[in-house]
Chain A
Amino acid sequence: MKARIIVTLKTGVLDPQGKAIEAALKSLAIEGIDGVRQGKVFDIEVSATDGAAAEATLRTACEKLLANTVVENYAIEIL
């Protein structure tokens, strides 16, 4: 089973990298961008065959390692 985990910074947490990317987009004269926040995507192969078991495994993975829940949120998508 394939899954995708998306880790994003929580609202209100400063994102200097996102700001740098936003400035770079402006410098490329790409119009109409009001803000950029950078996150991470993990594409994961899960051995579980049912969605609930896979999600439980991935939730543990996020809580223990993939996200730092002090500053990050995560979303799990079973593909």
Chain B
Amino acid sequence: MRAAVIVFPGSNRETDVVRALRRSGAQVDLVWHADHELPVGTDLAVLPGGFSYGDYLRCGAIAGRAAAMDAVRAHAGRGGLVLGICNGFQILCESGLLPGVLMRNINRRFICHRQTLRVERTDTRFTSAYQQGQVIDVCVAHGEGNYFVDPETLARVEGEGRVAFRYCDADGNVTVEANRNGSLNAIAGVLSERRNVLGMMPHPENFVEGLIGGTDGRGLFDSLAA
């Protein structure tokens, strides 16, 4: 598995995601946002978390039009894997690679806490190391993570089984309380039509070492590197 992590001005989680990918056995290159091409042989493009361009205009709006995103779009078009975490998810929505948009959290607060997620499907390149319905303990840290999409697209996304993760309580129940940013249908992670692109607000890369509090994030990187 060869991964390219795209670095934008204002990205700040690239080091963690590089570490998580290498831990699972991936070979990783860093790619600057102004580059027009991904390294030859790239299997997976990763858009890390952070505050690209200071969240100016809208979160992910300017990064979504960066030169490297043309390369990422072409990579996705060829069926290549793309993962966007937090700001990376916002960038994927803004660039048109995923449907919808991440709006301001419903409680108007920046939320930063441990968060349980329910794994909605395991027949994807991102989630195969998890069990169906498994509850995983990761983290969220965002001000704009409230997933919104028009009703027709939402029905299509749900109908096609493109929700990878939902916010849930510790027992796996999807509740209003567990969905603290107010996302439609408690969507925490969504897949593209061909299921080769995943965007998610939570940070699996935070929890790959027991020393730091948990290892439930490993499954995602192990799935990709498998």
In the complex, which range does the number of interface residues on chain A fall in?
10 to 19
A33 in contact (CB, < 8 A)? no
0/1 string, B87-112, CB within 8 A of A gives 1:
00000011000011101111110000
**B:103-156 near A, CB below 8 Å:** 103-108, 146, 148-150
Nearest B residue to A13, CB-CB: B148
B65 in contact (CB, < 8 A)? yes
Assess the B100–A14 pair: CB atoms within 8 A.
no
| List of B residues within 8 angstroms of A19 by Cβ | 108
The number of chain B residues with a CB under 8 A from chain A is 21
Assess the A16–B100 pair: CB atoms within 8 A.
no
Assess the A70–B100 pair: CB atoms within 8 A.
yes
Assess the A70–B104 pair: CB atoms within 8 A.
no
Assess the B65–A71 pair: CB atoms within 8 A.
no
**A:12-30 near B, CB below 8 Å:** 13-14, 16-17, 19-20
| List of A residues within 8 angstroms of B99 by Cβ | 70
| List of A residues within 8 angstroms of B146 by Cβ | 14, 16
| List of B residues within 8 angstroms of A65 by Cβ | 57, 61-62, 65
**Interface hub of A14, A17, A19, A20 (most chain B Cβ within 10 A):** A14
0/1 string, B62-73, CB within 8 A of A gives 1:
100100000000
A57 in contact (CB, < 8 A)? no
A14/B101 contact (C-beta < 8 A), A66-B57, A68-B58 known = no
A16/B101 contact (C-beta < 8 A), A65-B61, A65-B65, A68-B94 known = no
Assess the B108–A17 pair: CB atoms within 8 A.
yes
Assess the B150–A70 pair: CB atoms within 8 A.
yes
**B:18-60 near A, CB below 8 Å:** 57-58
Assess the A71–B57 pair: CB atoms within 8 A.
no
0/1 string, B167-183, CB within 8 A of A gives 1:
00000000000000010
A64, B105: Cα distance in complex, Å: 25
**Interface hub of B65, B94, B100, B103 (most chain A Cβ within 10 A):** B103
Assess the A16–B104 pair: CB atoms within 8 A.
yes
A71, B101: Cα distance in complex, Å: 8
Known: A20-B108, A65-B65, A71-B103. 14 other contacts (CB 8 A): A14-B106, A14-B148, A14-B182, A16-B107, A17-B104, A17-B108, A19-B108, A65-B62, A68-B58, A68-B61, A70-B93, A70-B99, A70-B100, A70-B148
8 A-B pairs with CB atoms under 8 Å apart are A13-B148, A14-B148, A16-B103, A16-B146, A65-B57, A65-B62, A68-B94, A70-B149
| Shortest beta-carbon contacts, A-B, top 3 | A16-B108, A16-B104, A70-B101
